Structure 1
Amino acid sequence: MTQDALFERLWNGSAAMEEWTAAVSHGAITHVAENIITVHTTYFCGSVTAIRTSEGLVLIDTAKPETAQQTLDVIRSWDDAPIHTVIFTHGHIDHTSGITVIDAEAERRGLPRPRIIAHRNVARRMQRYEDTHGFNSLVQGQQFNKPGYVYPIGQRRPDEVYDDRMSLFIGGEQIDLFHGRGETDDATFVWLPERRVLASGDFVIWVFPNAGNPRKVQRYAAEWAAALRRMEQLEPAVLIPGHGPVVFGEERAGQMLRDGAEALEHLVRETLALLNRGATLDEILRGVKVPAEYLAKPYLLAKYDDPEFLVRGIYHFYAGWFDGNAAHLKPAQTAELAAELAGLAGGADKLAERALALAGQGQARLAVELAELAGAAMPDDGQIQAIRAEVLRTLIGAESSLMGKAFLAVYEREATRRSKA
């Protein structure tokens, strides 16, 4: 099947992104325009775009550690010119880590290392990753089901930084950089005005915007929407997402940008409306939903992040960490609360049994609440931990987002281990 045919199936929803990932796993080139290609190796690695200029190649992003060499090899099959400039669209490792391979190649060839250009906050992000190295390793290992994972740090930091906007003129090519906050506070989207080519970075990722990750720092749904609107106004003829296939045609590119903006704007607007009426976080979570017509779009599927997580992030951005429940302002220790409730119920086993019954009735959320309390009350009881694991598996099975499944699985594995101890 040709890339064009597969794209049409992705666009109309008859193909899953996993099929595209398999199709590009060898290292695929998409010819974006004359002297511009985008390289893909997997959905989970950021796209890398190469621009041929008279001064050398300009790269937008560099891939992740596992695919960096493969990506560079694919670029070299297209052009062997020195790499003059690298633009980081943001500081996540699946976009920055390939610089190590690129620098090593330059050293072997006796060439200067390419300069790196990025938003000012990329360097701050890299420093934060070093400061929280243990935590980042733990969280990434949980989120991607890689126990023992060690987060790679030490990537070379930008040589030149900018704040809001920067225009580059390299070998006859004008390249404009724009800053926005979305998944990160250091994000850049790249615009080639003479080509009408837009590289969005992770503002566009072929799934619902990743603005609610439960174990990551604050994300910026409202500003993400504003950045998408700013891109839409450019009227790109080609849209290169941070993840997923390139989108050709002004109509489709505009639709993708507009739909993403509208979905985010809806969540922000409805969350603020309830917040301004004094609603608690619990009330807001029950009251704010994404309209079904957005979630039905193949490029806005809630497969990675969950819109409910985004609502939490929006609330936190405007209202802080307190959720409006007095019991959560200075809460009792979980173990103490669990022991008290277990006593009232007639024992932790009663809580666990009720949790299992609720899970069987389809009330998975309430079931997990009780199962976790039972497990906290009797952490060394193998039978209770086995029930806890079973209840968690029920919720995992009902969870649509990869992120939700991954974090729930952390506790399911813990409960399973305790049940066998």
Structure 2
Amino acid sequence: MTQGPRNPIESVVSSHQKLLDELPFDDTTDFEDAKRGLIATADSCVIRNEDGGVVWDNDSYAFVSGQAPESVNPSLWRQSTLTSMQGLYEVIPDLVYQVRGFDASNLTLIEGDQGVIAVDPLVSAETAAAALDLYREHRGQRPVTAVIYTHCHADHYGGVKGVTTQEDVDAGRCAVFAPEKFVEHLVTEWVYAGGAMARRISYMYGTVLDRGPQGQVGVGLGQTNSTGAITLINPTIEITETGQEHTVDGLRIVFQLAPGTEAPAEMHFYLPDHQALCVAENATHTQHNLLTLRGAEVRDAHAWAHYVQEMIDMFGRTAETIFSPHHWPMWGNERIVEFLSLQRDLYAYMHDQTLRLLNKGYTGIEIAEMMTLPPALEKAWHTRGYYGSVSHNVKAIYQRYMGWFDGNPAHLWQHPPEEQGKRYVEYMGGSAAVLERARKSFDDGDLRWVAEVVSHVVFAEPDNTEAKELLADALEQLGYGAENGTWRNIYLAGAYELRRGNFGTPVSSRSADTLAQLTPPQIFDALAVQIDGPRSWDDVIKLDVVLPDADTTYRVLLRNGVLTHTAAPASTPADVTITVPANRLFAALTAADPTDAGAQISGDGSALARLAGYIDAPDPDFEIVMP
């Protein structure tokens, strides 16, 4: 089944017109800010890796201009028009510059006495290098004297080796700043659950969708993620408290920690001598995620609002410029304080009203349907739901406080989707009857119900072509209507797979550079979550891991299907011992032959082989829209 895409139906077109009438599309302030300070654009914003493969193509979004087509929500079209702009921009003369449109995030460059500080160096080394080249072409060959990671998501550190080298960092020529527990949280988010996240990212970002009015137009926070080499250099200086001040390449920088907000490890910083504030990803030109649709820890809306208020208290009286690793800057103290105040109110309102209503007995799904933002927040472009949304953020707040269970006993032990599907279809009179009714609902514009009901048919009868076609059509129309960029991509990606089959996982969360930075305990934990418990619970394996360069020996024990580790001296002999340099440990434990990774093995080699055989690697191509 390879039909589509189809044209938008009347109910979708009508909803777009309603939005055009309600929102202040005549307000062009964001466009003025986004264009301000443009120095130069790249002749072509197509970036390739060493093998010639394209890792970034901003030129493919050239179609995003002018009036919104009927197949794209006009508010999302406006946002994508802004986020698709590319080039080198002057934010503060002779001090702060940004390269925008070279990845999902911005590369901010702050000029110091001897060189330049690189802030949040994009997703990939290739795009970061290209962005730095554009800067140097117009501002000179300044060396990178420091890197600042504002938080622990890949689009804020992954391109670091495109702007500096491990050798320069080790030699002290380039410092790397990050909030405390940066690497710890990076590992728990991107390594432990990285396999599932990578698959879902391909839906969320519409990775394989065609770029065009009936395909991917952006994600609200930017256009998409680049697909080059994700690199990592560990921080050399951790920020451990708010108010911590460092002089970096002649510039005074005051840091503010904001843990548990957009990332579990996140910080803002201020240049007091220049009245310039970097807000990281906690105050951008969109409502952000409290639970990203790729999956992650639920973020704390209450803490988010608190840290924005603290930012106002610390810097709001003097800040004249505000900039972020996403979107475009703003200027003027009064505007900045109002912007931050509305962002604070956004997260505080959703948090407080969700708690008010859950304490009246409403569930997350019910509260999401009831929640309406105050008029001031509804009308502000930067609080619109292009990346996060009121709907899924409210459900996230409910989940944070109450968990997955809504209290209804009928929902405590439900059948899984395939079994539900079979029973629903049978109770509704068979698939033909369901589809007949669903087509009428489709014609009536009740797309949400069509998607829910027909999904049961697809899970009950995976080979039912008619059901897959109708479900794909419904998801496509829901995508056309979505103001949220990631919702659009998820709907359209689902339609794509229903029509063309599983597209797999085009991106990986497990870059070699990231894995090389793991500590031994993090490596053991990463392996522990891959152990097939039922297959291994009758086996006992005692493995000693000797790291001569670290002068440490770990006892790794498989018992009852659980892999544990300790550095305490063992009281019993090991079945097998592996001796390996610490920086080769991950490679040795995951290689078919550990000696190929420079390891030495003594004792019962079959025990090591048994252990390797119990590792159940993530499935990068698991089904989402199909059973």
TM-score (norm. length: structure 1): 0.88
CA distance in 2, matches of 1:69, 1:251: 36
Amino acid at match of 1:157: N
CA distance in 1, matches of 2:192, 2:131: 29
Residue 252 of structure 2: SS of its match in structure 1? strand
Amino acid at match of 2:32: F
Aligned with residue 274 of structure 1, among 357, 362, 370? 357
CA separation of 1:32/1:351 partners in 2, compared to 1, >3 Å: closer, same or farther?
same
Is residue 130 of structure 1 aligned with residue 155 of structure 2? no
Q: Is the 8 A contact 2:103 2:123 kept in 1?
A: no
Matches within 5 A, 1:239-318: 239-318=322-401
Q: Is the 8 A contact 1:43 1:244 kept in 2?
A: no
Q: Is the 8 A contact 1:45 1:67 kept in 2?
A: no
Q: Is the 8 A contact 1:282 1:323 kept in 2?
A: no
Amino acid at match of 1:167: E
Number of the residue aligned with 1:413: 496
Residue 176 of structure 2: SS of its match in structure 1? strand
Number of the residue aligned with 2:406: 323
Name which of structure 1's ranges 164-173 and 270-279 shifts more when overlaid on structure 2. 164-173
Unaligned runs of 5+ in 1: none
CA distance in 1, matches of 2:399, 2:412: 14
Residue 282 of structure 2: SS of its match in structure 1? coil
Number of the residue aligned with 1:221: 301
Amino acid at match of 2:274: R
Number of the residue aligned with 2:528: none
Number of the residue aligned with 1:192: 271
Unaligned runs of 5+ in 2: 1-27, 37-74, 210-225, 503-627
Residue 213 of structure 1: SS of its match in structure 2? coil
Is residue 377 of structure 1 aligned with residue 460 of structure 2? yes
CA distance in 2, matches of 1:283, 1:151: 41
- Deviations along 1:329-386, whole A, 9 cap, x unmatched? 2211222222122112210222222222212212222221101111111111111211
TM-score (norm. length: structure 2): 0.61
CA separation of 1:62/1:417 partners in 2, compared to 1, >3 Å: closer, same or farther?
closer
CA distance in 1, matches of 2:131, 2:227: 22
Q: Is the 8 A contact 1:367 1:391 kept in 2?
A: yes
CA separation of 1:132/1:156 partners in 2, compared to 1, >3 Å: closer, same or farther?
farther
CA distance in 2, matches of 1:266, 1:201: 21
CA distance in 1, matches of 2:254, 2:34: 32
Q: Is the 8 A contact 1:352 1:388 kept in 2?
A: no
Structure whose alpha-carbon radius of gyration is higher: 2
CA distance in 1, matches of 2:406, 2:500: 32
Q: Report the CA distance between 1:151 and its aligned residue.
A: 8.6
Residue 109 of structure 2: SS of its match in structure 1? strand
Q: Is the 8 A contact 2:281 2:325 kept in 1?
A: yes
Q: Report the CA distance between 1:153 and its aligned residue.
A: 4.7
Residue 38 of structure 1: SS of its match in structure 2? strand
Residue 340 of structure 1: SS of its match in structure 2? helix
CA separation of 1:126/1:4 partners in 2, compared to 1, >3 Å: closer, same or farther?
same
CA separation of 1:103/1:59 partners in 2, compared to 1, >3 Å: closer, same or farther?
closer
CA distance in 1, matches of 2:367, 2:386: 22
Residue 54 of structure 1: SS of its match in structure 2? coil
Number of the residue aligned with 2:433: 350
Name which of structure 1's ranges 198-207 and 335-344 shifts more when overlaid on structure 2. 335-344
Q: Is the 8 A contact 2:88 2:135 kept in 1?
A: no
Aligned with residue 169 of structure 1, among 247, 250, 264? 247
Amino acid at match of 1:380: D
CA separation of 1:354/1:71 partners in 2, compared to 1, >3 Å: closer, same or farther?
same
Q: Is the 8 A contact 1:213 1:403 kept in 2?
A: no
Amino acid at match of 1:182: T
Number of the residue aligned with 1:54: 113
Aligned with residue 290 of structure 2, among 211, 216, 224? 211
Q: Report the CA distance between 1:271 and its aligned residue.
A: 0.2
Amino acid at match of 1:16: R
Amino acid at match of 2:108: T
Q: Is the 8 A contact 1:382 1:418 kept in 2?
A: no
CA distance in 1, matches of 2:294, 2:79: 25
Amino acid at match of 2:234: R
CA distance in 2, matches of 1:47, 1:381: 45
CA distance in 2, matches of 1:110, 1:326: 58
Is residue 121 of structure 1 aligned with residue 198 of structure 2? no
CA distance in 1, matches of 2:300, 2:420: 34
Q: Report the CA distance between 1:255 and its aligned residue.
A: 1.3
Q: Report the CA distance between 1:44 and its aligned residue.
A: 5.3
Is residue 92 of structure 1 aligned with residue 131 of structure 2? no
Aligned with residue 80 of structure 1, among 141, 145, 158? 141
Q: Report the CA distance between 1:201 and its aligned residue.
A: 0.9
Amino acid at match of 2:160: I
Q: Report the CA distance between 1:43 and its aligned residue.
A: 8.1
CA distance in 1, matches of 2:340, 2:500: 45
Amino acid at match of 1:61: D
- Deviations along 1:99-156, whole A, 9 cap, x unmatched? 111224976x997552211112320233232333422321222211224997955412
CA separation of 1:172/1:150 partners in 2, compared to 1, >3 Å: closer, same or farther?
closer
Q: Report the CA distance between 1:204 and its aligned residue.
A: 1.9
Q: Is the 8 A contact 1:274 1:284 kept in 2?
A: yes
Q: Report the CA distance between 1:55 and its aligned residue.
A: 4.7
Q: Give the root-mean-square deviation of aligned CA atoms.
A: 3.1
Residue 382 of structure 2: SS of its match in structure 1? coil
Amino acid at match of 1:173: L
Number of the residue aligned with 2:90: 30
Number of the residue aligned with 1:390: 473
Residue 299 of structure 1: SS of its match in structure 2? helix
CA distance in 1, matches of 2:407, 2:487: 24
CA distance in 1, matches of 2:383, 2:403: 28
CA distance in 2, matches of 1:151, 1:315: 36
CA distance in 2, matches of 1:151, 1:325: 46
Q: Once the two structures are aligned, what percentage of the paired residues are identical? A: 21
By percentage of residues, which structure has more helix?
A: 1
Q: Is the 8 A contact 1:137 1:151 kept in 2?
A: no
Q: Is the 8 A contact 1:56 1:84 kept in 2?
A: yes
CA separation of 1:152/1:311 partners in 2, compared to 1, >3 Å: closer, same or farther?
farther
Residue 164 of structure 2: SS of its match in structure 1? helix
Amino acid at match of 1:177: F
CA distance in 1, matches of 2:167, 2:273: 30
Number of the residue aligned with 1:238: 321
Amino acid at match of 1:125: H
Amino acid at match of 2:122: A
Q: Report the CA distance between 1:4 and its aligned residue.
A: 9.0
Q: Is the 8 A contact 1:213 1:305 kept in 2?
A: yes
